[in-house]
Amino acid sequence: MNSRIHIALLAALVMVASVGIAEEPKELVVFAAASLTGAFGEIGQIYEDETGLHVAFNFDGSQALRTQIENGAYADVFASANKKHMTALEQQGLMNNSSVSVFSENKIALIIPKANPAKISNLSDLAKPGVKIVIGTKDVPVGDYALQILGKLANDSAFGPDYKEKVMANIISQETTVNYVVTKVALGEADAGFAYVSDVTEDLASKVDKIEIPDRYNIIAQYPIGLLKDCKYPVQSQEFIDLVRSDRGCAVLERYGFYPVADSGKLSASSSSTGARASAA
């Protein structure tokens, strides 16, 4: 009888040990908006150096990441370039809603190739015949923001009643990520494009210039981050989010042209899809 008890106890201990080993994460899976590629890549490296835990990133358009999650793709953390796609996942019960908050903001700029073959110097020039413009699709946040900006410009009599129609006629492609927009402009395949201020990095400074969009026409892009409902490693994943929101994480975001949000509170499923709070240029 004693030997059977010993064997049973030994088997139980082996099972517990095995479960413990299985629960140790090999990596965190982070889905993040394409515009976060540089900043999150650096923050991820800091996290790996300090924890020894690898961060596997999936950078893509926020709408594409949302679709992947809706179709069953696994992720521990999701960071979106707008509230719209995050809210949709919250409403479907796919996020840990209490973990979701805005961690940064961004602004839109008009970018042009360094050579500037179309001689674009202001927003009015986008309506000139023959100008080649590239924007994001209406479903990708940067494309949605661009369309909102064009709508604001069209409502200003200074740009003329047919301004938006003329600009839309000059759009040669609509891209699924902001990275594609920036690449086409940098390669001279387009005369202008709408991208985030943060996309004009030091590496691109020799290839593109940016024209600032006045605040009265601009859109403040708000970036929420949170844990997925099915996140297997909530402790480690929350540590990654805490690093993003820490002073060190904010410093990295600022270097990449973002505007970190110190205390934004929590988002709810009824949150609006676009922030309207003014921000310094």
- Among 212, 238, 268, which residue terminates a domain? 212
pLDDT confidence band for 68 (50 / 70 / 90): very high
Same domain, 68 and 96: yes
CB atoms within 10 A of CB 108: 25
Same domain, 99 and 237: yes
The predicted pLDDT at position 189 comes to: 97
In a domain, 276, yes or no: no
In a domain, 148, yes or no: yes
The predicted pLDDT at position 147 comes to: 96
| pLDDT digit string, tens, across residues 19-45 | 444 467 789 999 999 999 999 999 999
Same domain, 61 and 136: no
In a domain, 280, yes or no: no
Give the C-alpha separation, 246 to 126, whole Å.
Answer: 40
The predicted pLDDT at position 267 comes to: 40
pTM: 0.81
In a domain, 266, yes or no: no
> What is the distance of C-alpha 215 from the center of its chain?
21
In a domain, 7, yes or no: yes
In a domain, 14, yes or no: yes
Same domain, 98 and 40: yes
Number of domains in the chain: 2
The predicted pLDDT at position 3 comes to: 53
Please report, for the domain that includes residue 61, its CATH number: 3.40.190.10
Q: Which of 33, 178, 34 is nearest to 102 (CA)?
A: 33
Same domain, 206 and 125: yes
In a domain, 118, yes or no: yes
Q: 220-227 and 101-113: which strand pairing?
A: antiparallel
Same domain, 38 and 14: yes
Same domain, 161 and 206: yes
Please determine, for residue 280, whether its predicted confidence score (pLDDT) is greater than 50: no
Same domain, 200 and 232: no
Q: What is the span of the domain harbouring residue 115? A: 106-212
Please determine, for residue 238, whether its predicted confidence score (pLDDT) is greater than 90: yes
Same domain, 52 and 10: yes
Q: Which of 243, 180, 199, 189 is nearest to 107 (CA)?
A: 199
Same domain, 38 and 65: yes
In a domain, 274, yes or no: no
pLDDT higher at 172 or 270: 172
| pLDDT digit string, tens, across residues 202-229 | 888 899 999 999 999 999 999 999 999 9
Q: Burial level of 115, CB count in 10 A (0-12/13-18/19+)?
A: exposed
- Among 212, 235, 270, which residue terminates a domain? 212
Same domain, 130 and 171: yes
C-beta of residue 125 within 8 angstroms of C-beta of residue 161: no
Same domain, 145 and 123: yes
Please determine, for residue 109, whether its predicted confidence score (pLDDT) is greater than 80: yes
Please determine, for residue 270, whether its predicted confidence score (pLDDT) is greater than 60: no
